[in-house]
Structures are given as structure tokens and as C-alpha cells.
Structure 1
Amino acid sequence: MVGRFEGLSDLEWKLFEDVMTEVGEKRERGMPHAPFRYVLNTLMYVLITGCHWCDVPKGEIWASKSSAHRWLLRWQTDGTLARLQARILGIAEERGLINWNCGAVDGSFSPWQGRW
């Protein structure tokens, strides 16, 4: 079943706010940058619900699909996503929420083209 996500709570945002320290470059024209909380809301929505980019919600707490995708690519490149992941795993491990003795790998997206 697809998950439900309605945006980060204030407490959840506090966990990630300091990781999002980079300020976007100043532009002369166009729309101002979406707040990072809205971008993270949108990215989390896509991850949790499994929706397509064209189906991201619109409203006050969401970034546009193009803005969210642009920041996703940038954060992938500059290491921000790795820092977010480390923060989440650190908190989960500290609370004993991770069992490192078992795991699963999904190979359905593997680029391997071999034959059985």
C-alpha cells in the first residue's frame, strides 16, 4: 500500500535544517528559490508515496516538481543527500530501530542485461 505524507512537522524539520545550509545562488530574473523545507517535503512525498513527478501535490508547503528535481540533482552531487541519509541512519541506530543482521536488496532496477 502506498504511504501517506503531509509534510515535515516542525520537529522533523529541526532534525534536517542545519544540513540544508547552502543558499541558492542569487538570480536576477525568474522565480525566487523555493524554501528547502518545501523542497524536502516534495522529495519525501515522492519517496514515500511512489508517485510520478507529474503527480506531486501543489500548495503552500510543496515545491514545484521542477524545483524539487533540480535540488535533488544538486544535493546528490554536492553530498547533501548523503548527509541527510547519515543523519537519519544515525538517529535510527541510536534508538535501536535498525537490525543490521538482516537486509534485502531489490534488483528490479538493475541495468544488468545478461540472460539466465
Structure 2
Amino acid sequence: MQNHQPTYFKIFHDLSDGEWEFIRSLPPPRAKTGRPRADDRKTINGILYVLVTGCRWMDMLARCGSYKTCWRRLKRWSEEGV
């Protein structure tokens, strides 16, 4: 007889409008020149999705944008103390 562990799924919800209003000023402002930056709200949703669910960056939801962008943004913001 096998001992099966229960499987728990962590549910993720995108940031609500109220949550976004609360944190929207935390990321540094966008540069005035150069390539336009990926949407901060989508990027933060992607970062939170990976942190909440524990999935690999490559497996994050496509609606959150590029996993590489999310990973780089988290790394940069962490180094900057955001």
C-alpha cells in the first residue's frame, strides 16, 4: 500500500485595482528615453504568480508577459531595495 501525500494547489489572483493603487508608486519611474519598459502591473503579477505558486519561471502565465522580463525585474528591484 502506497502512502500518498495530499496535493495542495495554491490559488493566485491578479492584483486588484485597490492593491495596484497601493503599490504602483514602489517601482522606479520609467526612463524617458530608450525602449519602452514592460507594463509594471503585468510584471508584478508575473513575479507574484511564481512566488505564490512555486512554479518555475518558464511555467508562469503567459498573460503576465515574458518570464525573463519578470525574473530580471525582480532581480534588479531586489538589488535596488524596492
Place the TM-score, normalised by the shorter chain, in its bin: 0.7 to 0.9
Q: Percent identity?
A: 32
Match of 2:17 among 10, 13, 21: 10
What does residue 44 of structure 2 align with? 40
What does residue 3 of structure 2 align with? none
Mark the structure with the bigger radius of gyration: 1
How many aligned residue pairs are there? 75
What does residue 71 of structure 2 align with? 69
What does residue 29 of structure 2 align with? 22
Q: Distance in 2 between matches of 1:41 and 1:73?
A: 15
Q: Distance in 1 between matches of 2:77 and 2:32?
A: 14
Report deviation, 1:25. 6.6
The 1:48–1:65 alpha-carbon spacing in structure 2 relative to 1, beyond 3 Å, is: same
Q: Which runs of 5+ in 2 are unaligned?
A: 1-7
TM-score, normalised to structure 2, is 0.80
TM-score, normalised to structure 1, is 0.58
Matched, 1:51 2:58: no
Q: Which has the higher contact order (CA 8 A, sep 6+)?
A: 2
Please tell me the residue identity of whatever aligns with 1:40. Answer: I
Name segments (4+ residues, structure 1) moved above 3 Å: none
The 1:64–1:20 alpha-carbon spacing in structure 2 relative to 1, beyond 3 Å, is: same
